C-alpha cells in the first residue's frame, strides 16, 4: 500500500536545480549495500577498488577483500547504507507504487565514493581517494565516544591541508544525555563542518 501519515516538505533546493549533479560525495562508514534500490545499477557490475565512472551511483568502492568477503560482512541494518542513502540515494524502482522516491537523498543526482570503514581508513588514505576521484565533499556520520585529541588533530589538519575539500561530521546522538558537551571528536575539530539536527522540526 502507499505511504500515509508522514510529513514531507517540498525539496526547495532540488526544485531549484541544486541536486548534487556532477558532484561526488565521499562516504566513510560501515559497508554500503550496493544492491539497495537507492544505489543499484543493473547495467554496471560493482568492482571493488576500481574506478567505475559509468555506474549510476558509485564511482569507487574501497574494501580490503573480495566481493564475497564484502557480501558476507554486510548486515541487514547497515549504517553506511543508511547515511549514503541520506546523502545521495536515488530510487531505481521503475514502478514506484510505494513512493520510495520520497526517501531519496538530499543530493539525489550526486555520485558516491565509498572510502571504506571509518575505523580502518586513515586520513591520508581518505585524502588520496578524494583527490584521485575528484570528490570535494566528505560525509562522516560518526564520531568517537568522548574526547579523542588525536582524531581531532588528524581531521583538523587534513582540512587545513585541503582547503578545497569540505569535511562534514555529525554532531552526535547524545544531546539528551550531555547537552552542549555532547559533540565529541573529530566533530569538534576546528576546520571541519559539524551538523546537528532538530529534535522535532514541526515544533
Average pLDDT, the chain: 91
From the list 61, 27, 8, the residue with the least C-alpha distance to 139 is 27
pLDDT of residue 180: 80
For range 143-169, the mean pLDDT: 93
Instruction: Assign 96 a pLDDT band (cuts: 50, 70, 90).
Output: low
pTM of the entire predicted model: 0.92
Q: What share of the chain is helix, strand, coil (3-state, %, to 5)?
A: 25, 15, 60
Given a contact cutoff of 8 angstroms between Cβ atoms, the answer to whether 23 and 137 are in contact is yes
Average pLDDT over residues 159-173: 94
Binned at pLDDT 50, 70 and 90, residue 97 comes out as: low
**Assigned C-alpha cell, 148:** 579523542
Percentage of the chain beyond pLDDT 70 is 95
What is the model's pLDDT at position 93? Answer: 85
What does the block give as the cell for 44? 554496471
DSSP conformation class of 62 = -
Nearest-angstrom CA–CA distance, 33 and 81 = 6
SS3 at position 202: coil
Residue 2, pLDDT above cutoff 60: no
- Report which of residues 171 and 132 the model is more confident about: 132
Mean pLDDT for 159-176 is 92
pLDDT of residue 37: 93
- Convert the pLDDT of each residue in 40-87 to its tens digit: 999 999 999 999 999 999 999 999 999 999 999 998 889 999 999 999
Amino acid at each position: 500500500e502507499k505511504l500515509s501519515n508522514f510529513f514531507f516538505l517540498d525539496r526547495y533546493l532540488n526544485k531549484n536545480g541544486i541536486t548534487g549533479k556532477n558532484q561526488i560525495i565521499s562516504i566513510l562508514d560501515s559497508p554500503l549495500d550496493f544492491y539497495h534500490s537507492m544505489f543499484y545499477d543493473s547495467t554496471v557490475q560493482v568492482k571493488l577498488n576500481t574506478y567505475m565512472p559509468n555506474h549510476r551511483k558509485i564511482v569507487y568502492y574501497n574494501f580490503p577483500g573480495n566481493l564475497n568477503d564484502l557480501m558476507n560482512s554486510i548486515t541487514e541494518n547497515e549504517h553506511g547504507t543508511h547515511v549514503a542513502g541520506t546523502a545521495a540515494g536515488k530510487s531505481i524502482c521503475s514502478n514506484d507504487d510505494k513512493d520510495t522516491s520520497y526517501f531519496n537523498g538530499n543530493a539525489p543526482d550526486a555520485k558516491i565514493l565509498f572510502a571504506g570503514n571509518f575505523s580502518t581508513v586513515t586520513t591520508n588514505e581518505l585524502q588520496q581517494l578524494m583527490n584521485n576521484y575528484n570528490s570535494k565533499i566528505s560525509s562522516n556520520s560518526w564520531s568517537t565516544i568522548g574526547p579523542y585529541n588525536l582524531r581531532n588533530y588528524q581531521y583538523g589538519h587534513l582540512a587545513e591541508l585541503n582547503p578545497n575539500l569540505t569535511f562534514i561530521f555529525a554532531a552526535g546522538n547524545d544531546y539528551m544525555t550531555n547537552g552542549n558537551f555532547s559533540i565529541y571528536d573529530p566533530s569538534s575539530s576546528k576546520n571541519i563542518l559539524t551538523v546537528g539536527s532538530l529534535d522535532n522540526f514541526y515544533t
